Chains A and B, each alone.
Chain A
Amino acid sequence: MNRKPDYLTHAVLALGVVLFALPVWLVLAGSTQESEAITRGDLSLIPHLSGLPRYWQVLTEGTRGAEPVWHMLAISSAMALCIALGKITISILSAYAVVFFRFPLRKLAFWSIFVTLMLPVEVRIIPTYSVMAQFGLINTFTGLWVPLIASATATLLFRQVFVAIPDELVEAARMDGAGPLRFLRDIVIPVSGANIAALFVILFVYGWNQYLWPLLVATDPSLDTIVIGLVKMIGIDSDTDWAAVMATAVMALLPPVAVVVLMQRWFVAGLTEGEK
């Protein structure tokens, strides 16, 4: 290691930090100032303490044309949670089947899952909508997350994790008398804990950021997610309440950040103390 400080490296790093952090800071500062000042372009880099009560107001009452932010946060959190947990459950089960069981057409099943990687939500959105409509799930909370929980990516990831579980461990469990479900619950899931945590973070953020599907499937404002709400608040006319939008944006950032911070501690610990 070079002990001498490398000024160029630090300069590049600092530039990178500013590049990423400045917009977020601007939103934070803007959320405490007057909307008129923002529209005029007089955005100050210093947050005004006097603007803080706006957060409470937006959170509990919302602004013109939108639900209260707390409600949208709740919908988003519930949706992201359901998507993340649903994806994890389904992909653990399908990866488990593909890795540990010999059944006819196993290869075909695996490749069919693999192929769906090439079909993102956007491509199959019309048929998905039609199926959901036939089930009567338009404008329901269930309709918001159920079509999003199949995940080829997560299945492939878990397949890799499971394939790395030593055969001897599987055999030891069989000799100990563990049946398939018990083996899954007692051995496979705990051993893959760190991976599950890491994936949960990624999938939660993915679910949180969903826009197109919620926009289509739920027109009822009481099902608005925070992302939809933000877009609605900006609207098309010129008298957008920018300060309120920015305050909402700041609050929309917090749950994913909290999940990342909390889970990161957990899965990093899991990774470092785990065996290989």
Chain B
Amino acid sequence: MATLELNGLRKRFGDTQVLRQIDLSLTDGEMLVIVGASGCGKSTLLRLVAGLETPTAGTVRLDGRDITQLDPSARDIAMVFQNYALYPHFSVFDNMAYGLRIRGLSKAAIQARVDAAAAMLGLGDLLTRKPRQLSGGQRQRVAMGRAIVREPKLFLFDEPLSNLDAKLRVQMRAEIRRLQRRLGITSLYVTHDQVEAMTLGDRLLVMHEGRPAQLATPMEVFEQPADTYVASFIGAPAMNFLPAILTEHGAAARLDAGPTIRFTDGPRAGPEGMALTLGIRPEHLTVGDPQLRVQVDLIEPLGSETLIHGHLPTAGAPPMVIKVAGRAPASEAIAVGIQAEHLHVFNRETGMRKAPGA
């Protein structure tokens, strides 16, 4: 039973403002994923919660108690590090038991907890090994085990899967999710991997330059990105952006490239001719519809689908990516249509999403 509340958290290192303003609240048992480009302050945020750094301003509350000034060991929080941070000279058992010994648990209690965690993680046969005798995936499990045996109020994960190969990552991703659900421990999970961001969390926080750009469920973030940064960051290949202006009293947008597209979800407020950015995901472009002509630069067959990289014929037009099922037509230019029901409308000045009526 633990809730986490961050209020007005800021962190400055010398002259660089790394975290500008973070307000966040996690309900009991929730898994919140924080995603953002490298260097946007994700690790710093986790380290503030863990107590490894002190915030410049703001408070951290765990279960209603203000823990902002507490030492990491007094916070009842466990962390899984990116490079595992296992003690190289300890056996797997000792790695897991170390924190419990320091907390003065009895030998029997330690044994019971480590055995339970090891069984849960499939580490039963490896307890006497040293970390260097383990594979990457096994080390990762030991790092998880070390967090689990503590039975903390809060788990922190800092890109725990980024050092694993792709196949193992998929496997461990599912395992982390299963374990977290089963143990019901409130968790903060940091990643820069989109798939982890989409699949792991109950909610997703997209961070951009030390600020929260959007906080919502993963599907909401995907379907209604709050701004162009979130829109380009979530989803692969990234969303295409086309410059346009508002027309027909807010009922449609005219692309700089020519065609006018009517909004299917209602008119947008704003003066005629207002500068917009239209977003459309690569999978929401239809080949064969003569709305736009796209010059093809490169074709990437991925097996079940194909990516077509191209650009509009106007000078200086941004690159476009189109995702089609099966094979792509082999030609230098293709006709491409926009599926209007999947259109995202952004204010070009601010980059913010323009919802119908707004």
A and B pair up: yes
Give B45 Cβ to nearest chain A Cβ, in Å.
15
- Taken together as a complex, chains A and B put the C-alpha atoms of A275 and B88 apart, in Å, by 7
Q: In angstroms, how far is the closest chain B Cβ from the Cβ of A273?
A: 8
Within 8 A of A (CB), among B17-64: 47, 50, 52
Known: A177-B73, A190-B89, A191-B89. A171 touches B98 (CB 8 A): no
A171 near B85 with CB under 8 A, answer yes
Give residues 195-235 of A contacting B (CB, 8 Å): none
Residues of A within 8 A of B89 (CB): 190-191, 193
Residues of B contacting A174 with CB < 8 Å? 52, 71-73
B229 CB–A CB distance under 8 Å: no
B positions within 8 Å CB-CB of A: 47, 50, 52, 71-73, 77-79, 81-89, 98-99, 102-103, 131-132, 146
**A187 sits at the interface (CB 8 A):** yes
Report yes or no: B85 in contact with A176, Cβ–Cβ below 8 A.
no
What is the interface of chain A mostly: helix, strand, loop, or mixed?
helix
Q: List 5 A-B pairs, minimum CB-CB distance, nearest first.
A: A177-B73, A176-B99, A168-B85, A172-B85, A177-B102
Contact A275 B98, CB 8 Å, known A172-B79, A172-B85, A176-B73: no
List A residues at the B interface (Cβ < 8 Å).
Answer: 166, 168-169, 171-178, 182, 186-187, 190-191, 193, 273-275
Least CB distance from B308 to A in Å reads: 43
Closest to A172 in B: B85
B83 contacts A175, CB within 8 Å?
A: no
* B81 lies within 8 A of A171 (CB): yes
With contacts A168-B81, A174-B73, A275-B132 taken as known, whether A182 is within 8 angstroms of B88 at the C-beta atoms is no
Of B71, B72, B79, B102, which is within 8 A of A182 by CB?
B102
Cβ contacts A to B, 20 pairs, < 8 Å: A166-B83, A166-B85, A168-B81, A168-B82, A171-B79, A171-B85, A172-B79, A172-B87, A172-B146, A174-B52, A176-B99, A176-B102, A178-B73, A182-B102, A186-B98, A187-B87, A191-B89, A193-B89, A273-B132, A275-B132
Given contacts A171-B72, A171-B79, A175-B99, 16 further A-B contacts (CB under 8 A): A166-B85, A168-B81, A169-B87, A171-B47, A171-B85, A172-B85, A174-B72, A175-B73, A176-B73, A176-B102, A176-B146, A177-B99, A186-B87, A191-B89, A193-B89, A273-B132
User: A168–B72 Cα gap in the complex (Å)?
Assistant: 13
Whether A175 pairs with B102 at a CB distance below 8 angstroms is no
Collect the chain B residues with CB atoms within 8 Å of residue A172's CB: 79, 81, 85-87, 146
Chain A residues near B77: list those with CB within 8 A.
175
Distance (Å) between the CB of A266 and the closest chain B CB? 14
Give the contacting residue for B50; candidates A175, A186, A273; CB below 8 A: A175
What separation, in Å, do the CA atoms of A174 and B51 have in the docked complex?
10
Which of chain B's residues have a CB closer than 8 A to the CB of A171? 47, 50, 52, 72, 79, 81, 85
The interface residues of chain B lying within 8 Å CB-to-CB of A168 are 81-85
How many whole Å from B140's CB to the nearest CB in chain A? 14
Q: Which residues of B contact A169 (CB under 8 A)?
A: 85, 87
Closest chain B residue, CB of each to CB of A270: B89
Q: How far is the CA of A193 from the CA of B82 in the complex (A)?
A: 25
Question: B102 — which chain A residues lie within 8 A by C-beta?
Answer: 176-178, 182
Residue of B nearest to A165 (CB): B88
CA–CA, A171 and B79, complex, Å: 9
Q: Write the nearest CB–CB distance from A73 to chain B, whole angstroms.
A: 35
Give A191 to B86 CA distance when docked, in angstroms: 12
| Cβ-neighbour of B103 out of A177, A191, A273 (below 8 A) | A177
Assuming the A-B contacts A182-B102, A186-B98, A275-B132, are A175 and B88 also in contact, with contact meaning beta carbons closer than 8 angstroms in the complex?
no
* With contact pairs A168-B85, A274-B88, A275-B88 given, residues A175 and B78 touching in the complex (Cβ less than 8 Å): yes
Residues A191 and B79 in contact, CB atoms below 8 Å apart: no
User: In the complex, what residue of chain B is closest to A178 when comparing beta carbons?
Assistant: B102
Q: How far is the CA of A171 from the CA of B43 in the complex (A)?
A: 13
Determine the distance from Cα of A186 to Cα of B102 in the docked complex, in whole angstroms: 11
Within the complex, the shortest CB–CB distance from B333 to chain A, in Å, comes to 52
Q: Which residue of chain A has its CB nearest to the CB of B74? A: A177
- Chain A residues within an 8 Å CB radius of B88: 191, 274-275
On chain B, the residues within 8 Å of A273 by CB distance are 132
CB distance from A54 to the nearest CB of B (A): 48
Q: Which residues of B contact A178 (CB under 8 A)?
A: 73, 98, 102
Quick check: A175 and B79 within 8 Å, CB to CB?
A: yes
CB distance from B314 to the nearest CB of A (A): 50
Given A191-B88, A191-B89, A275-B132, A176–B83 Cβ distance below 8 Å? Answer: no
